Chain A
Amino acid sequence: MSLFIKMAWRNIWRSRRRTLITASSVFFAVILATVSDSMTKGTHQLMISNMVKYSTGYIQLQDKLYDEEPSMDNTLLYSNDIRQLIGGHSDDISYTVPRIQTFMLASVGNTTRPVLIQGIDPASEVRLNAIDEDLVKGSFLEGDGGVLISEGLADRLKLDLGDTLVLIGQGFQGASAAGLFPVTGIVHLHLPQLNDRMVYLKLSDAQLLFNAEDRLTSLIITPKNQGTEVELVQRMKAGLDPERFNLFTWREMMPSLLQGLEMDRISGKMMIWLLYLVVGFGILGTVLTMLLERRKEFGILLSLGMKRKQLAIVAFTESLLISFLGVVAGIAGGIPLILYLSHHPFRYTGDVAKMIESYGMEPVMPFLMDFSVFASQALAVLVIGGLIALYPVFKVYRINILQAARS
């Protein structure tokens, strides 16, 4: 066996030019495949992160009954047990976002509207969805006792900085909740449904208002690496009382998003397969021509007594080795390229960019820099190369020795 490999290796370098051309076909194939895959995976991940950070977060801890009945009564107590659990997984958790939220009535003068109140921790909330980016006026909950209201709500209630907002509703375990709050900030939110009715308070102020000390409606947990949440949740569940808490990933909370993502994944796959087909032909073309060139050589070898089987194995090994070289070169070249692209992604231009930005998203087509991209594409191209390498085998068996030797 090793004899064949040695022969194949020597043969390859006998005609460097031939080898280099064929290998470069493979090289280009790998580069293009990794760029495509990186792009599809990158956009896919961006889609997820955009949807998740503006809604449920990656992981959410809730009181057991909150899912069925999202009311103030079904809040969880942010006790030491919870803190310890989070601390225990601090290697995998980047940060947490505590929230307490409910509907209340907001009143200004004679106008009364239902609004969604969210008690938040400004620092961690900003980390999750950069909500302070579109601050229109005032400050982002810097002092105590003030409220930050959404732009649409400010419009409808004709509120400006310094005006007083009346909030009336129900607190924890039936207690009444009522308060007067000065407007200390106005923020523009990207989703119109939210922009019309959000009121943000500091977490401690909200908990006081609802008579819900240390209580939260949800605790969002952001893992260090996007994509690890399912597995992290499994591990964390071991330390949680299942009778008292629920720990969900965004997949469980937004099942319809999963279907939409599936569509995206499939269209990405189709694109890659088309690419494989095209580059496959490219590699095949070079191999075919190479065979053409060596027809005489094969004919002579066979007439000298080499068995077809042996020649076939050598020819196969040669093609495989060339593919392998091309793949290695492709990865070597691909890594710096993808690295560059991941920091300088493709940007949309003109009105399209403005439209995307209005949804609160960056108008880019991102590239994912990840081991899985290289591994999967290297493997794919290697397989293609291997399949194409079978063609020489086929040819070897079909060669007419006399004709070939004489050509």
Chain B
Amino acid sequence: MSACILLGDAGDSDVKKCTFETMKEAVILAGFFAKNMSMKQTVFRFGWVLLFFLSGSAALFAQQADEIVQKMEDKMRGTSSYFEMSMTTVRPRYTREVTMKAWSKGDDYSLIFITGPARDKGIGFLKRKKEIWNYMPSIDRTIKMPPSMMSQSWMGSDFSNDDLVRESSMVKDYTNRILREEVLNGYNCWVLEMTPKPESSVVYSKIIVWVIRENYLQLKVDHYDEDEAIVSTITFSDFKVMGGREIPLSMEMVPMNKENNKTIITYQNAMFDIEIKDEFFSVQNLKGMK
């Protein structure tokens, strides 16, 4: 059984193989017992052995869930990255597009500049750990976001300021388990249920994630509230290789309580593992960029 714990990259076929080996072992062991016992005893013993292996498989699956989540997280974060992207906010009465450039280093630092439309050009956001700074070029002023504004929408989109800083480790903060396997949008996926642990400060009661088995990328995320209703859904699409990695070029977030509202982010350019010093993420830099 120890041979079945997954290490490193594992594909679809490995999982199947592992289970089969276990079953084979079970059958062999059962046969061994059978030679030395009566039929009834054999069935009984076989049953126990099977149960033993199967429960082992369950534990196996839980471990697998955490592994999957860990890999999923690793894929999302790099050590440092640079993106050029556009965010489209769709509302019943209008649609607005904002373009921006973003640098980030690990979970703690990121710097975002708005490059369009003209009225908003030069607006900057700096995130340092849990703090957000906002620079407005029209008045040449930088302010630090107070806690009361954290739940307000960011740049008019369906994302909140909180979403920008929220850093929960998905493995540490959640209890994860695999619900099933499913094909969605043409991809084979694991469907994972992530339940936040009591100590974490996550607002959702649970999150359901579709993880593409081939590349451990998120395909769809449903966020649930206390009443088992979906609060928001994020869907990823257009998976391409950019900057040396396979990433979804398009992300769509739909809040469930408002019909016809959504926010779509698309990436035009991405670079990973670039050299950025910590000092780059400073308030002064916020002003400097144009």
A105 contacts B119, C-beta separation under 8 Å: no
A168 contacts B134, C-beta separation under 8 Å: yes
A107 at the interface (CB under 8 A from B): yes
A105/B138 contact (C-beta < 8 A), A174-B96, A176-B123, A176-B155 known: no
A170 contacts B156, C-beta separation under 8 Å: yes
Residue of A nearest to B120 (CB): A176
How many Å lie between the Cα of A32 and that of B91 in the bound state? 62
A178 contacts B94, C-beta separation under 8 Å: no
- Bitwise, B170-211 to A at CB < 8 A (1) or not (0) is 000000000000000000000000000000000000000000
Q: For B141, give its contact among A73, A170, A180 (CB under 8 Å).
A: A180
A173 contacts B96, C-beta separation under 8 Å: yes
Residue of B nearest to A170 (CB): B156
Query: Which of the four size classes fits the interface of chain A?
Result: 10 to 19
A112 contacts B153, C-beta separation under 8 Å: no
A114/B149 contact (C-beta < 8 A), A178-B141, A180-B139 known: yes
Kindly provide the distance from the CB of A217 to the nearest chain B CB, expressed in whole angstroms: 15
A113 contacts B146, C-beta separation under 8 Å: yes
- Bitwise, B206-237 to A at CB < 8 A (1) or not (0) is 00000000000000000000000000000000
B93 contacts A73, C-beta separation under 8 Å: yes
A166 at the interface (CB under 8 A from B): yes
A166/B146 contact (C-beta < 8 A), A174-B89, A176-B136 known: no
Residues of A within 8 A of B96 (CB): 173-174
A105/B143 contact (C-beta < 8 A), A176-B136, A178-B136 known: yes
Q: For A112, give its contact among B89, B93, B119, B145 (CB under 8 Å).
A: B145
B89 contacts A168, C-beta separation under 8 Å: no
How many Å lie between the Cα of A176 and that of B138 in the bound state? 10
Q: For B120, give its contact among A166, A168, A173, A175 (CB under 8 Å).
A: A175
- Bitwise, A236-259 to B at CB < 8 A (1) or not (0) is 000000000000000000000000
A166 contacts B143, C-beta separation under 8 Å: yes
Q: For B143, give its contact among A112, A173, A175, A179 (CB under 8 Å).
A: A112
How many Å lie between the Cα of A205 and that of B244 in the bound state? 50
Q: For A176, give its contact among B93, B119, B143 (CB under 8 Å).
A: B119
B38 at the interface (CB under 8 A from A): no
Residues of A within 8 A of B145 (CB): 105, 112
Residues of A within 8 A of B91 (CB): 73, 173
B143 contacts A168, C-beta separation under 8 Å: yes
A175 contacts B144, C-beta separation under 8 Å: no
- Bitwise, B143-163 to A at CB < 8 A (1) or not (0) is 111101100110111000000
Residues of B within 8 A of A168 (CB): 134, 136, 139, 141, 143
Kindly provide the distance from the CB of B264 to the nearest chain A CB, expressed in whole angstroms: 14
- Bitwise, B113-147 to A at CB < 8 A (1) or not (0) is 00000011001000000000010101101011110
A114 contacts B148, C-beta separation under 8 Å: yes
- Bitwise, A331-350 to B at CB < 8 A (1) or not (0) is 00000000000000000000
How many Å lie between the Cα of A174 and that of B152 in the bound state? 12
Residues of A within 8 A of B143 (CB): 105, 107, 112, 166, 168
Kindly provide the distance from the CB of B112 to the nearest chain A CB, expressed in whole angstroms: 13
A166/B155 contact (C-beta < 8 A), A114-B146, A114-B148 known: no
A179 contacts B149, C-beta separation under 8 Å: no
A166 contacts B141, C-beta separation under 8 Å: yes
Residue of B nearest to A114 (CB): B148
Kindly provide the distance from the CB of A174 to the nearest chain B CB, expressed in whole angstroms: 3
Residues of B within 8 A of A211 (CB): 119
Kindly provide the distance from the CB of B230 to the nearest chain A CB, expressed in whole angstroms: 20
How many Å lie between the Cα of A73 and that of B93 in the bound state? 9
Residues of A within 8 A of B148 (CB): 114
Interface residues of B in 239-268 (CB under 8 A from A): none
Residues of A within 8 A of B149 (CB): 105, 114
Q: For A166, give its contact among B139, B152, B153, B156 (CB under 8 Å).
A: B139
Kindly provide the distance from the CB of B41 to the nearest chain A CB, expressed in whole angstroms: 70
Q: For B146, give its contact among A73, A105, A170, A173 (CB under 8 Å).
A: A105
Interface residues of A in 136-179 (CB under 8 A from B): 166, 168, 170, 173-176, 178-179
How many Å lie between the Cα of A176 and that of B98 in the bound state? 11
How many Å lie between the Cα of A174 and that of B146 in the bound state? 20
Residues of B within 8 A of A174 (CB): 89, 94, 96, 98, 155-157
Residue of A nearest to B98 (CB): A174
How many Å lie between the Cα of A176 and that of B136 in the bound state? 9
6 residue pairs, one from A and one from B, having the closest CB atoms: A174-B156, A178-B136, A174-B96, A107-B143, A180-B139, A173-B94
User: What are 22 of the A-B contact pairs (CB < 8 Å)?
Assistant: A73-B91, A73-B94, A105-B145, A105-B146, A105-B149, A107-B141, A107-B143, A114-B149, A166-B141, A168-B134, A168-B136, A168-B139, A168-B141, A170-B153, A173-B93, A174-B96, A174-B98, A174-B155, A174-B156, A176-B123, A178-B141, A211-B119
Residues of A participating in the B interface, judged by any CB pair closer than 8 Å: 73, 105, 107, 110, 112-114, 166, 168, 170, 173-176, 178-180, 211
Q: Beyond A166-B139, A175-B119, A176-B138: 13 further Cβ-contacts under 8 Å? A: A73-B93, A73-B94, A105-B149, A112-B143, A166-B141, A168-B134, A168-B136, A168-B139, A170-B156, A174-B156, A175-B120, A175-B156, A176-B155
